[in-house]
Structure 1
Amino acid sequence: MYNKATTNKRVLVTGGAGFLGSHLCDRFIAEGYHVIAMDNLITGNLRNIEHLFHLPQFEFYNCDVSKFVHVPGNLDYILHFASPASPIDYLKIPIQTLKVGSLGTHNLLGLARAKKARILVASTSEIYGDPHVHPQNEDYWGNVNPIGPRGVYDEAKRFQEAITMAYHTFHGLETRIVRIFNTYGPRMRLNDGRALPAFVGQAIRGEDLTVFGDGSQTRSFCYVDDLVEGIYRLLLSDYVYPVNIGNPDEITIKEFAEEIIKLTGTSQKIIYKPLPTDDPKQRRPDISRAKEILGWEPKISRSEGLKVTYDYFKNLPSEELKTEPKEFSNYSK
């Protein structure tokens, strides 16, 4: 599946054992890079990258980037994807979430400067908050509650963008910023609280599907391979300002739950619970900038991507299928 590295370029992927980070490791290995994955494994899982361990062009560092980062040798690129990304995680570890977005980003920007490397940081559609502009474009500043339960994640990402641009303008560092919208695919954690794995997990366990609010809130789901392609193009582009990467095919949460019921062939019904605080009512990316600058748009349909993802979840160990989070919601990614 993987060939020996055909380039001497080296890339560091923080959060490399996570959902998105592991797929990025795969992509850069396939492109012939030497890949260094870094993760403290709070939410990442070595299972996501164990298929790479035998490769001479792959390394793994168990490291908390919020404390200190050291990588021997040269680096050409850094992709900073180390951060809790689901409500379950960042509500459980709020301080660590803030630290990885601030101290961790600062450390990695310093490393990029020392190594003269280009750095791409993973921001999020959550910086738009509960938006007053729809669809969301990169010029919209957002509607975020900094002291609400989601503030630890939203504001960490907003600070991350600010310090990244400061390093670019003040130090001349080569930086890229990707604003990631709802993404799904194999290697998502089944019980991380996000809509797709929450629904699939309930369906597999024979439980009713829980929708928060009346289900009219919308999301737009992008398959992970499409997202990785957009990120790869952005990293290698000359564009320094934020770029939305996501799928503009918008759907309500209620409709999405119905799709999962149809996909899984279950007979469960939908039940409703109160909407969480500051839950965005609408989420859809304006990808005009990505189309124009990167020549990118998603190619994989939701029906195609959901089938692959469901097949992945069905084959997880039985103990994982039985476990459910104490609380989850259909907001965020």
Structure 2
Amino acid sequence: MTRLYDSRKRILVTGGAGFLGSHLVDRLLEQGHEVICLDNLFTGTKRNIDHLHNHPRFEFMRHDVTFPLYVEVDEIYNLACPASPVHYQHDPVQTTKTSVHGAINMLGLAKRLKCKIFHASTSEVYGDPHVHPQTEDYWGHVNPIGPRSCYDEGKRCAETLFFDYHRQHDLQIKVVRIFNTYGPRMHHADGRVVSNFIVQALRGEDITIYGDGSQTRSFCYVDDLVEGFLRMTASGPEITGPINIGNPGEFTIGELAEKVLAKTDTKSKVVYHDLPQDDPKQRRPDITRANTHLDWEPKVPLDEGLERTIAYFRKILPELELV
């Protein structure tokens, strides 16, 4: 495997037991680094990192990023925050604290250590966009007081903090905006559309579409996303971001439901419910910057990624039913 780093580093990954974090931890270990995986296990799970229990360069630390942390590392990846509406709306005040206080604590740590820090932001900073596809120059259309605001505005504030630390303290930052990502290790009850549809179909339940199914999303397979993370962190100091990381292929929610139904061979039917407040109607990244500055674009087509994800849920669902 091609190494993106010249030498071994000690790397902190916050949210490292989560869906994205655990895949990132795997890649960093494969590259020969030492990894501290930090997670409070609110949405992350030890299942995602069980295979690393005896790894000599892996360390798990249960900690909440809203509290200060004192460790010695060479690099930080800040991924800690619940990312699905079901989870981030469960405790919206804590969600905002995780984005804002967590960013302050990790930036403070990076400042003390004089190390590079990567931040996983989100396409939700664009809100329900009036510009399509979304470029990094677009400032967004976000409701500051709605049920999704704890996440959307928390992530926007975190970006502000990162760029202020960069300007004020000359901190080396890397900020990416993640668009819809899917793959193995998604939480089975996170309320996100891909996991929702797959779990419902495998259980023979009705597939629930909110709205009429015409709203669009762009789905990026997790391996592609993590490759984007690594390329961003390995880029030169002049590349701070924000940079969109996602798949520009656009599908309606109705089309996604049809694909899941066909691939699971289920007898499930599609049912429709009202669209939640502030749910974006369109979402597709412009990835020109990622392609230009990182030589990155997604490789895994939706059909292939869905098959891998369905295989994962086929394996774990029987185990979850026993818990």
Tell me which residue corresponds to 1:224.
Answer: 222
Question: 2-side partners of 1:321 and 1:195: how far apart?
Answer: 21
SS in 2 for 1:210: strand
Tell me which residue corresponds to 2:258.
Answer: 258
Cα offsets for 1:285-311 (capped at 9, x unmatched): 000000000000000111111111100
Question: 1-side partners of 2:222 and 2:19: how far apart?
Answer: 9
Tell me which residue corresponds to 1:298.
Answer: 298
Task: Number of aligned residue pairs: give it.
Answer: 318
Cα offsets for 1:239-259 (capped at 9, x unmatched): 012000000010000111111
Question: 2-side partners of 1:319 and 1:206: how far apart?
Answer: 17
**Root mean square deviation, CA, Å:** 1.6
Q: What TM-score, normalized to structure 2?
A: 0.96
Question: 1-side partners of 2:67 and 2:74: how far apart?
Answer: 22
Question: 2-side partners of 1:320 and 1:279: how far apart?
Answer: 29
* Cα distance, 1:114 vs structure 2: 0.8
2:97 to 90, 96, 99: 99
SS in 2 for 1:315: helix
Question: 2-side partners of 1:40 and 1:314: how far apart?
Answer: 27
Question: 1-side partners of 2:262 and 2:182: how far apart?
Answer: 18
Which has the larger displacement, 264-273 or 100-109? 264-273
Instruction: Give, as a single letter, the amino acid of the residue that structure 2 aligns with 1:190.
Output: H
* Cα distance, 1:6 vs structure 2: 9.3
SS in 1 for 2:89: helix
Instruction: Give, as a single letter, the amino acid of the residue that structure 2 aligns with 1:151.
Output: S
Report 1:228-307 matches (<5 A): 228-238=226-236, 239-307=239-307
Instruction: Give, as a single letter, the amino acid of the residue that structure 2 aligns with 1:249.
Output: G
Tell me which residue corresponds to 1:15.
Answer: 15
Cα offsets for 1:136-160 (capped at 9, x unmatched): 0100000000100000000000000
Conserved 8 A contact 1:6-1:33: no
Tell me which residue corresponds to 2:130.
Answer: 132
1:117 to 90, 115, 120: 115
- 1:46 corresponds to 2:28: no
* Cα distance, 1:101 vs structure 2: 0.5
Instruction: Give, as a single letter, the amino acid of the residue that structure 1 aligns with 2:47.
Output: R
Question: 1-side partners of 2:225 and 2:58: how far apart?
Answer: 22
Question: 1-side partners of 2:34 and 2:322: how far apart?
Answer: 38
Conserved 8 A contact 1:15-1:83: yes
* Cα distance, 1:56 vs structure 2: 1.5
2:152 to 144, 151, 154: 154
Tell me which residue corresponds to 2:167.
Answer: 169
Cα offsets for 1:218-259 (capped at 9, x unmatched): 000000000000010001112012000000010000111111
Question: 1-side partners of 2:81 and 2:211: how far apart?
Answer: 27
Tell me which residue corresponds to 2:70.
Answer: 70
Question: 2-side partners of 1:241 and 1:310: how far apart?
Answer: 33
Question: 1-side partners of 2:283 and 2:151: how far apart?
Answer: 17
Question: 1-side partners of 2:100 and 2:33: how far apart?
Answer: 28
Percent identity reads: 56
1:185 to 167, 183, 186: 183
Q: List gaps (5 residues or longer) in structure 1.
A: 324-333
Question: 2-side partners of 1:274 and 1:232: how far apart?
Answer: 39
SS in 2 for 1:112: helix
Question: 2-side partners of 1:319 and 1:241: how far apart?
Answer: 41
Question: 2-side partners of 1:136 and 1:192: how far apart?
Answer: 25
Instruction: Give, as a single letter, the amino acid of the residue that structure 2 aligns with 1:157.
Output: K
Tell me which residue corresponds to 2:203.
Answer: 205
Conserved 8 A contact 1:219-1:284: yes
Q: List gaps (5 residues or longer) in structure 2.
A: none
Question: 2-side partners of 1:37 and 1:322: how far apart?
Answer: 28
Large movers: runs of 4+ above 4 Å: none
Question: 2-side partners of 1:321 and 1:137: how far apart?
Answer: 42
Instruction: Give, as a single letter, the amino acid of the residue that structure 2 aligns with 1:61.
Output: M
Instruction: Give, as a single letter, the amino acid of the residue that structure 2 aligns with 1:120.
Output: F
SS in 2 for 1:104: helix
Cα offsets for 1:78-115 (capped at 9, x unmatched): 00000000000011011111011001110000000111
Q: What TM-score, normalized to structure 1?
A: 0.93
Question: 2-side partners of 1:31 and 1:315: how far apart?
Answer: 28
- 1:89 corresponds to 2:94: no
* Cα distance, 1:317 vs structure 2: 4.4
Conserved 8 A contact 1:211-1:273: yes
